[in-house]
Chain A
Amino acid sequence: MYGGGYIFEETKNGERTVEDPKRLEDFEARIQAGEKIEPMDWMPAEYRKQLIRMIEQHAHSEIIGALPEGTWITRAPGFRRKLALMAKVQDEVGHAQLLYSAAETLGKPREMMINDLITGKSKYSNVFNYPAVTWADTAVIAWLIDAGAIINQVANSKGSYGPYCRALERICMEESFHLKYGHDNVVFLATGTPKQREMVQDALNRWWKPIMHFFGPSDKISVHTETLMRWKVKMASNDDMRQKFLDMYVPKIWELGLSIPDQKLKKNEDTGIWDYTEPDWEEFKRVINGDGPCNKERLAVRRRAEEKGEWVRKALMRNAEEYTIPLS
């Protein structure tokens, strides 16, 4: 599971590295021809920088994304659901490992990324700064957040950087179970007792805002976005992915007789485009910069895990072994 709406770094004027025009031309021609770029290949400094940032945020989102659901493992209703939730959470952490490896091939060691996460320097998907209040929240997360993640990841798996694409292919394969598992949980509650229906409706009301924030703000067509799209780093605009999500999942939500807390939400039959209340992007910015209901808890929990594991890593450490960048 991963959150969309990557935060790409704006490159200020004068900061951009001037690349060898011949090499840049060859590089762009290769991407145009659908070739993958591999770790040892030449690439523009800006391509490397934005990819590290994007893959790293994705990896952090997997790790932090395991936390809201993970807190429900001990309180899962029934043994089968507990097993399934444990398996899902383990998958998410495994995805983080695959992604860290992919980012490492670009030259940033994994431990440095983890350090940047814990110190608050790197971002992760904003949705995980919200709490999973009841069991129904985990059902909504597993179904709809994972659904959004799949839309995003399928698009990105057609990108230009080989190691990232390969990691995503494996991840998407595993995510299909998460989606079915989440849908099953939502359907169970929605077709259950009035109390269960109320629980899942409440959870949906709580999560609709983060879900709409999930793909990130409308992207202005800037030179920046255009370059990233030409380099196949960014594969679809945030709005396009949001529309795709609404198209696929709103009917499935309505079919269960659940309501969505947005009076304006409606598909325009002529244009095929969904109208909705513009999400509060000020809140999005505020939360991503640290002021959400769970930011502090997420980072504190991650830091504590790092501290608790330190003696194990130290005990196994062999100083003679030098770190090597993984192959691909």
Chain B
Amino acid sequence: MSLKSLDPRITREGLPEEPDNTPVENIHHWTTFEVFHQTKKGDRHIHVGSVHAPNHEMAYILAKEQFARRADCVSLWIVKTSDVYQTNYRDEDMYENNQEKMYREAGGYKVMERINKYRKEHSK
């Protein structure tokens, strides 16, 4: 006996009536690729997610379907996940800055006071 469905196409498949609990054989693990999406020319590419694929071309096809299906898109970048060099949040403290860095801010340079003093002294 095969499975009877309300959908004639499923009935025609001749699926077994009793559930088959055997695991899927030969699980194929493709690698993963990260996808960067650009909404319009001139914008930055933004990371939007990842896809599983055997190579860049397939990754592109899947990424286009997944991330450019609805939103505006002019370009996608595909990068193999293992090629991304990333730092760990555990090492977050290495980005901590010395608070005393006014010497590299525009606001750290105040010249008017000196100019005014100079002009006052020399205008006599």
User: Which residues of A come within 8 Å of B, CB atoms?
Assistant: 38, 40-42, 71, 74, 90-91, 94, 97-98, 101, 104, 109-112, 114-115, 118-120, 131-133, 167, 170, 174, 290, 295-297, 299-301, 303-304, 306, 310, 313-314, 316-318, 321-328
A316 to B17 CA separation, bound complex (whole angstroms) = 32
Using known A-B contacts A41-B89, A310-B26, determine if residue A324 contacts B15 with beta carbons closer than 8 Å.
Answer: no
Residue B41 at the chain A interface, CB threshold 8 Å: no
Is the pair A304, B15 in contact by a Cβ cutoff of 8 Å? yes
Q: Decide yes or no: A299 and B26 within 8 Å by CB, A321-B31, A322-B82, A323-B31 being known contacts.
A: no
How near does chain B come to A181, taking the closest CB pair, in angstroms? 14
Complex Cα–Cα for A94 and B64 (A): 11
Q: Which one of B22, B50, B80 has the highest number of Cβ atoms from chain A below 10 Å of its Cβ?
A: B50
B102 partner residues in chain A, CB cutoff 8 A:
none
Indicate whether A324 sits within 8 Å of B10 (C-beta atoms), given known contacts A94-B69, A299-B19, A318-B55. Answer: no
Please tell me the size bucket of the interface on B: 35 or more
Residues of chain B contacted by A74 (CB below 8 angstroms): 9
* Residue B42, interface by CB 8 Å: no
Picked from A42, A133, A306, A327, the residue with its CB within 8 Å of the CB of B6 is A133
CA of A157 to CA of B29, assembled, Å: 29
Would you give the 0/1 interface string for B14-54, flagging 1 where the beta carbon is closer than 8 Å to chain A?
01111111111011111110100000000000011111101
Closest chain B residue, CB of each to CB of A105: B50
Q: How far is the CA of A42 from the CA of B88 in the complex (A)?
A: 11
Q: Return 21 A-B CB contacts under 8 Å, by A number.
A: A40-B86, A40-B89, A71-B5, A98-B66, A101-B49, A111-B28, A114-B24, A119-B21, A119-B24, A167-B49, A296-B18, A299-B19, A300-B3, A300-B16, A313-B28, A314-B26, A316-B54, A324-B80, A325-B81, A326-B49, A327-B34
Question: By the criterion CB–CB under 8 Å, are A323 and B66 in contact?
Answer: no
**Residue among B3, B10, B17, B52 having the largest count of chain A Cβ atoms under 10 Å:** B52
Known contacts: A115-B24, A306-B24. The answer to whether A318 contacts B54 by CB under 8 A is yes
Instruction: Report the separation of the CA atoms of residues A299 and B65 in the bound assembly, to the nearest whole angstrom.
Output: 25
Report whether over half of chain A's contact residues are helix, strand or loop; otherwise say mixed.
Answer: helix
16 other A-B residue contacts (CB within 8 Å) besides A296-B17, A326-B32: A71-B5, A91-B70, A114-B24, A115-B24, A119-B22, A120-B19, A133-B6, A167-B49, A296-B3, A297-B5, A301-B13, A313-B28, A314-B26, A317-B54, A326-B50, A327-B34
Query: How far in angstroms is the closest Cβ of chain B from A95?
Result: 10
Return chain A residues, CB-CB under 8 Å to B84.
Answer: 327
A38-B89, A316-B55, A321-B30 in contact; A300/B24 too (CB < 8 A)?
no
In the complex, what distance in Å separates the CA atom of A36 from the CA atom of B88? 15
- Complexed CA–CA distance, A270 and B4 (Å): 50
Tell yes or no: B58 within 8 A of A by CB.
yes
Contacts of A314 in B (CB 8 A): 26, 28
* 4 A-B pairs closest in CB distance: A326-B50, A71-B7, A323-B29, A300-B15
Residues from chain A with Cβ under 8 Å of B110 in the complex? none
